[in-house]
Chains A and B, each alone.
Chain A
Amino acid sequence: MEKIVLPDIKDFHKLEVYLQHGGYTAAKKAFTQSTDDIIDQVKRSGLRGRGGAAFSTGLKWSFMPKTTDKPKYLCVNGDESEPGSFKDRQIFEFNPHQLIEGTIISCYAIGAKVAYIYIRGEYHKWIKLMQKALDDAYAAGYVGDKMKETFGTDFYCDIYIHKGAGAYICGEESALMNSIEGKRGYPRVKPPFPAQNGLWGCPTTINNVETITNVPPIINKGWEWFASIGEPKHPGTILFGVSGHVNKPGVYELPSGTLLTDIIYNYAGGIPGNKKILCVIPGGSSMPPLRGDQIEGVKMDAESLRAAGSAIGTGGIMVMDEDTDLVKVLARIAHFYHHESCGQCTPCREGTGWLEKILKRLVAGKGSVSDLDLLITVANQIEGNTICALGEAAAWPVKFMVERFRDYFEQRVSKEISLPVANKVHSMRHTVIPVEEIKH
Chain B
Amino acid sequence: MWQTGKSEERLLVDYLLGKLPDEKLAEVEDRAFADRAFLAALQAAEADLIDAYVRKELTGPELRKFERLFLASPQRRKKVEFAGTLARLADEAVQPAQSSSWGALFDWARGWGHPLQFAAALGMLACVIGLSWLWSENRSLHSRMANLQSRSSDLERQAHDLTGRLAEEQARANSLTAQSKLPSPPPLMASLVLLPGATRAQSNAIQLLLPAGAQVAHIEIQLEAADDYPRFRVELRTARGDEVMARGNLLRQRNAGGFAVSLDVPASALPAGQYELALKGVSNDSAKDLGFYSFTVRRQ
A binds B: no
Using CB atoms and an 8 Å cutoff, list the residues of chain B in contact with chain A: none
